[in-house]
Structures are given as structure tokens and as C-alpha cells.
Chain A
Amino acid sequence: MARSVVPVNGTLRWPGTIAVGLALVFLFGPLIAVLWRAEGLASLSRADLSAVWFTIWQAAVSAVVSIGLAIPVARALARRQFRGRQVLVTLLGAPFLLPVIVAILGLLAVFGRAGIVNSFLGALGLPDVSIYGAHGVIIAHVFFNLPLAVRLILQGWVAIPSERFRLAAGLNAPIWRVLERPMLASVVPGTFVVIFLICLTSFAVALTLGGGPRATTIELAIYQAFRLSFDLAGAATLTLVQIAICAVVALLAFAITALDAMGRGLDRVVARWDGSVWGDFAWITAAALFLLLPLVMVILRGLPSILELPSSVWVAALRSVMIAMVSAGLTVALALALALRGGWLVVVVGTLPLAFSGLVLGAGLFLIVFPFVNPSNVALPVTALVNSLMALPFVMRALVPSVAQVEAQYGQLADGLGLRGWARLRIVLLPRLRRPLGFSAGVAAALSMGDLGVITLFATGDRATLPLEMYRLMGAYQMQAAASSALVLLGLSLGLFWICDRGWRIDADA
């Protein structure tokens, strides 16, 4: 992301400036509204401080473990071609797109007290293993974020032109040192920041798998301040703490991010010769088992009654798909405008949304909207917009390096030809950005599908989204119908992601 500091020559900057303004208004406006209403800040209690430390610790460990595992998996996927690889890459992304509660129940079906692992251990006469505790929090966060890490790092790998691999092979140069390590040095810090920030605002996962109040995160403390004592000052203060942590970690990471643009290639698929085939397939199999087994459990749980779902679930599903498509279009437009603009503000806007508590954002938007319109009437547009903002950090991570690379490789040529403005965007950039743009739209759509987000505060009445409808079913004891709704949600999220990710692409190598 540090590369976005370099703006793209000869393209339009003003749409990006508008996007920056829009994002800043929609992030800080609500926070200021909450602070205004709260009439100031609060001091942190001892319990808050221990929540801050636990939060930072678990987020850092989760990010390090996720990336440490993602590097060999991404390398294995980058250098092996096999039947079904494409489907596998998409499926491996699924945990990231799941609503939290579905993922937790899926994980517990595998690692829980009555899960597959313990049944297996029991059959062998071995003692049970418990998933609840700090390690459970890490396992769950790795489950959620390994797919994202693999995807982002894999993009780094496939972005290395095949010509360079050939050149390295011809010169008998060490690939790891001349090609892969520099690529990782440029991709890993940004990936670390995103995963760290996702885990920073984790709440249900940390609490449920952490086994109790030991695993209190800042987000839960915000929840407590808001609900239990309606302490808006406390909630806003804790949000500022999250933003401060986010800023420090992002600055540290960007400071060590390496630049990488060595020369142009012809965008061809690389055929690799190095590494152990069996080692690579062991990594791929292990990751697939870890990530897909819980999904299989979600599918098995949901399948039996999927045809008996009440019609309201399908209506909610349609509504969610529409919000997701609006949100995806908006995200891609915002992200492209931002990526072309460049500048430090873009880095801020592309990172910061992750540090914002959804609860505080929702409360702030509510305070802003309420004097003018009935919040229920604007719930869906607000949801689409907030979902877009929340997807920006992921999308920017994929888009910005690609834009920088296209510019590094074709910028001089385009300048020489006098291509500027829309023409440059249309002729030079867009054709080369199809892959990251498709991925961006897919991620934005899928994230929007699964997100409960601000919609809960805005009380949509009969205009529920699919995740909300699923929670309603659970609240009405209808766990079987809820499990089937979860399967519908999983299918739609993956389907939307698949269509965007594949449909926008000219080549099919990643």
C-alpha cells in the first residue's frame, strides 16, 4: 500500500479526491456525532486496559500465524497446476466470507467437545482436546484469515512475470532470493495490517472460543459501554483507542514495506520447476482440510431442510443479493478512484475502516440521520454504503499494487503515446486490472452478504437481510431452518464471489 503514495500519472485525480472525502465523512462524521452527544471522552477502567492488551496480543499472534501458514500454501498453489485448482482457490476463500456465527458452529462441529476431532480421539481411546481458550481464539482467527492471506500473497506470486522466472532459470539464480523474497517483503506487511485489524475488532469469535471474560476484546468493551450503561463517552473513547492502535500498526508496517517494480512481462502463466511436488501437495491438502471441513459440516447441517425454508428467507436473500451488488459496484468505483489518485490520504482511507467499531459507526449514523428521516427508511442504502467502506481495506490491498505495477510497466509507454485521462484508463489500465477488479467486486459482494453490520440498529422491520433473518430464526428456536439459511447464505456469498472473480477476468491462471 505504500506504493499508493505515488500517484498515477496522467489519469483523473478528482474522483479519488471525492472518494476520500466521502469515506472520511462517513467514518468520522458518526464518531463525532457520538462524541458530541456524549459531551466528551471517558477514562479507561482497569478492565478496559486488560481488554486492550488482550486485543493487541491476540490480533498480533493471529496475524503472524495466518501469514506464516499462508506463505507455503500460496507458494504451493502458485507453482502447481492441477485439475480443480480454480475451484479449490475459490472454496478456500469461503471462511472469510462466512457470517461469524455460522463459522463458529462449523468450527465447533470439527473441533468442539462433540466434534469430529474429539470423536476420533475418543475412538482411539485418547483424551479430549478442548478448543476453548487463547489457542481457540487463534485457531478461529486463522480459519477466518488464512484464506485472505493466501489470496493476497498468491496475487503477489502470480504478479511476478513468468519472463523473470525464465530469466532466473537461465541464469541459474536462486528464485527465492531474487524474486520471491522481494515480492513477499512488499506484500506481507500490508497483509499483516489487514489481518491484524480484522482480529482487532473481533468480538463474538474471541469471546465464544476464548471461553469467557479472559477473552474480552475492545469491541466487547464498547458493546458493554453502549448496552449495559449507555455510556457513549466510553464507547467513543474505546473506538479512539482502536483507531490509535490501527494507526501505529499501519505506520510500522508501511515503514518496512519494500517497493517492487523491476520490469515488464507479457502476462503469461508461469510453469515452475522448483520445489518438492509432494511438499506442495501436503500444504495444499492440510489447508484444504482445515478450511473446508467446517464448511462441509455447515453444508451437511443445512442441507436436510433447505427446501422447507419459509418464503421470507428467500425474499431476504434476494434483498441481500441486491444490497451486495450495489455495494460491490460502489466499492469497485471507490477503490479504483482511490487507487488512481494515490497519496497518503488514500492509505488512510484504505486502512482505517477496519478500526471502526460497527456499533459506534451505526450509533453515530443513527444520531445523524434521525433528526431528518426515519432511520428504518434509509436502512438499506446506509447498509450498502457502510458495507462498501468496510470492504475498501481488502479491496485496496488487491488493487493498489496492481495499479502501481501496470503504471510501472506501461506508464512510460502510455506517456510516450500521450494517453491521458479516460483514454488511458480504458486502454491501458482497465484491461490489465480485470483480475484485481473482479476479485475486489467479489470480495465486496460476499462481505456485504454476510454482514449484519449497522442494520440491527436501524431496525428494518419487514425489510430484513438474510443474516438478520437467520438470527431471527435462531431467536425463534428454529435452529434447523437457521442452519439451512446459513447454507443459502454460504452458497450465495460464494456464488457472487465466483461470478465476479471469474467473470471479470481475461485469463484463468489464478
Chain B
Amino acid sequence: MFKTHLMSAAGLCLCATGALAQVPVLTIYTYDSFASEWGPGPAIEAAFEAECGCDLQFIGNGDGAALLARVMLEGPRTDADIVLGLDTSLIARARQLDIFADHGVSAAFDLPVAWDDPQFLPYDWGYFAFVSTADVEAPTSIAQLADSDLKIVIQDPRSSTPGLGLLMWVQAAYPDDSAAIWEALADNIVTVTPGWSEAYGMFLEGEADAVLSYTTSPAYHIFAEDDQSKVAWAFEEGHYTQIEVAAKLADTDQPELADQFMQFITSDAFQSAIPRTNWMYPAITPQGGLPAEFQGLARPQTALLFPPDEAAAVLDGALEEWRAALSQ
């Protein structure tokens, strides 16, 4: 008698956990600022949960490189269903892991370069640029900046995504004399910081005339602070492009939900959350267009970008050149 009660009690418990488990969980690894209260995460989570009947969980990890390191540490046993937040400089290494599946999504992207990667789906993009104030006379190229007396703060390519972007920018724009450019830039560089935040903070405190950031950075100051004084310098040789992508894990335990989210990335609900939270260009311009503060931003004539394999191939040489030029 007692035993039967115990059995039915156990049965009840099983039912209860079963009922809880019926809300499937979709786990997305991303970088910290995407998942944070001020990033796109909360709005996108709410919009997707409204249509999926699931629990969407963003797990934030440092920046893009830290995100990839986490996926590599976890290996094939990772709990992630989707990884969102890698960029073009990380794709080659991510692909080598051989853990991502084709996304199967086709969309008309508003990207400055053609994109047809079967595994990595773009969700936003931007141009690296030097951000300065309107009262500083803007140089029109990296070479002119290097010849000037202007002072800049940059990030270390070994620890920061924009830092790596500038390294690639110089390689792409000056393939034959990148070393000379770095040597000429050396006396313009006030200092090199570990990450974007330190550099941007130093620029705002007046430590430099300009900081390496994105062409979209001034939009934040216009929107949030009503400050029109920040400008991005447009360079005639073109700007290196950052394209941020998402990919689905091949052995996700939520394949349908993961597919549904990959499709959702191209939706208006997702894309319209990007500009004012991630301060980047959405991969597909939402129906309402871009917010007003994005309208007057500098739009470079030329978008520079190495294909993932080429970016991986030039990295070591470029890094050594950078180190040698700035160590003198």
C-alpha cells in the first residue's frame, strides 16, 4: 500500500518535470554586449519567444574571440544550439572545428560585399573607422593620417576585434607597403589598449584626437546624448568591413527551433533591434528604414574585406609587421 503511494508520488513528480520540460530551451552563445541589458538580446528574446513557444537563452561571453574560445573549450559537447557573434576574422577558425551545419536561409542582404556562405549567416555589419570630433581637420586616408601630427588611440590586434580590423585594413588598403604605413603611423599612436572600451573611454576624456571604432559610433552620440560633434573620418582607400554572423551547431538537440531562429534573424523584428542597441548596420534594412541618426553618417565608397581564408593567411605576417613597427 505504502509502496503504491510512493510509486504514484514518483509518477506525479515525473509528470511535473515533464510538464516543465515541455517548454523547449534554445541556447544561444553570443558576446557579452549582445546579451546585456543594453544590447539587442532582450528585445530579440521577447520577439522570438512570442512566436516560438520556447525559452530563448542568450549566454554572453566576453567578445567575439572569447566566444569562439568558449566554443573551442567546450568542443563537440557544447550546450549551444546556435553561436551568434563571430566575425569575418574568426570564421576560418570556426569552420575548422567542423561543428556547424548549413543554415539553409536565403535572403536579400544589404551588405557592402556579396555573401553566400552556407554556414555563417550575417546579422549585422559595420565599417571600422577613426572617430574624432568635428573641430579636428579630417585626414582623407590612412597615409595622410600617418603623415599628420594627429594623435590616435588604437586597440591591440592580439586582444581586440577592432584592433585586428585595423591590422587587416592596412593590409587590404596598402598590400605592398603596409610595413611602411605602420612605421609612419607609429608616432601618431598615443597608445594601444587591450580592448575597445579603454580606447573609446580615453578618446572621450581627451587623450587623443581620434579613436579606432566604427563609422556608426557617432550615431550613438546623436541619439542618446544629442551630441552632433562626433564624426567618423571617411578614407578614400576604403574601409575595412566587419560582418557579424551566426551559425547553427550540427548536433543541436533543438534542430527545428534552431532553424526557426536562423530564419528569424532575417526578420524585421530582429533586424530593427540592431541599429540602436548594437550600433551597427542591420544585415537587411528593416521596412521602416534606418533610424534618423544613421542617415547622415559617413558612407565609405569602397568596402574592403579579406575572404576568411585569406584573412587567416595574412594574419601572422601582418602581426609581426605591426609589432616590429610599433616596438621601435
Contact = CB atoms under 8 A, between A and B. Distances in A.
Interface of A: 47, 101, 104-105, 108-109, 112-114, 132, 203-204, 207-214, 216, 220, 223-224, 226-228, 230, 310, 312, 363, 366-367, 370-371, 374, 376, 456-457, 459, 461, 464, 468, 471-479, 482
Interface of B: 29, 32-33, 35-39, 57-62, 65-66, 68-70, 72-74, 77, 79, 93, 151, 156-159, 186, 189-194, 196-198, 200-202, 204-208, 217, 220-221, 224, 279, 315, 319-320, 322-323, 326-327
B327 A214 contact: yes
Given A456-B62, A472-B36, A478-B224, 6 more contacts: A208-B194, A367-B73, A370-B73, A456-B32, A472-B32, A476-B39
Contacts of A101: 197-198, 201
17 contacts: A101-B201, A112-B206, A113-B206, A132-B191, A204-B198, A208-B191, A213-B323, A220-B159, A223-B194, A224-B158, A227-B69, A227-B158, A230-B68, A456-B62, A472-B32, A475-B32, A476-B39
Given A207-B192, A212-B189, A474-B201, A457 B70 contact: yes
B37 A312 contact: yes
Nearest to B93: A230
B313 to A, nearest CB: 13
A223 B159 contact: yes
Nearest to A136: B191
A459 B59 contact: yes
A7 to B, nearest CB: 41
A478 B38 contact: yes
A461 B60 contact: yes
B279 A226 contact: no
A47 B323 contact: yes
Nearest to B213: A477
Given A223-B159, A228-B65, A230-B72, A209 B191 contact: yes
Nearest to A312: B37
A479 B191 contact: no
B33 A457 contact: no
Contacts of A477: 200, 217, 220-221, 224, 279
A108 B206 CA distance: 10
B202 A108 contact: yes
A175 B298 CA distance: 71
A132 B190 contact: yes
Contacts of A108: 202, 205, 207
B200 A479 contact: yes
Given A112-B205, A114-B205, A224-B158, A104 B198 contact: yes
Q: Which of B35, B159, B326 has the most CB of A within 10 A?
A: B159
A227 B65 contact: yes
Contact of B194 (A204, A468, A472, A479): A204
B70 A459 contact: yes
Given A208-B194, A214-B327, A472 B206 contact: no
B66 A227 contact: yes
Nearest to B203: A479
A474 B205 CA distance: 13
Given A212-B192, A310-B37, A105 B201 contact: yes
Contacts of A461: 35, 57-60
Contacts of A213: 156, 192, 322-323, 326-327
Contacts of A456: 32, 61-62, 66
A109 B205 CA distance: 8
Nearest to B157: A228
A105 to B, nearest CB: 6
B205 A105 contact: yes
B70 to A, nearest CB: 7
B206 A114 contact: yes
A121 to B, nearest CB: 15
A220 B327 CA distance: 15
Nearest to A214: B327
Contact of A475 (B33, B158, B207): B33
Contacts of A475: 32-33, 36, 196-197
A211 B190 contact: yes
A290 B252 CA distance: 56
Contact of A476 (B33, B59, B157, B191): B33
Contacts of A226: 69
A477 B293 CA distance: 15
Nearest to B223: A477
A21 B320 CA distance: 43
Given A457-B66, A459-B60, A472 B207 contact: no
A226 B73 CA distance: 10
B38 A230 contact: no
Nearest to A37: B73
Most chain B C-beta atoms within 10 Å of own C-beta, residue among A132, A208, A230? A208
Nearest to A371: B77
A228 B189 contact: no
A413 B326 CA distance: 64
A209 B68 CA distance: 29
7 residue pairs, one from A and one from B, having the closest CB atoms: A114-B206, A476-B38, A474-B197, A224-B158, A475-B33, A212-B326, A227-B65
The interface centre, meaning the residue of B29, B58, B194, B221 with most chain A CB atoms within 10 A of its CB, is B194
Nearest to B39: A476
B201 A472 contact: no
Contacts of A310: 37
A229 to B, nearest CB: 8
A113 B190 contact: yes
Nearest to A477: B220
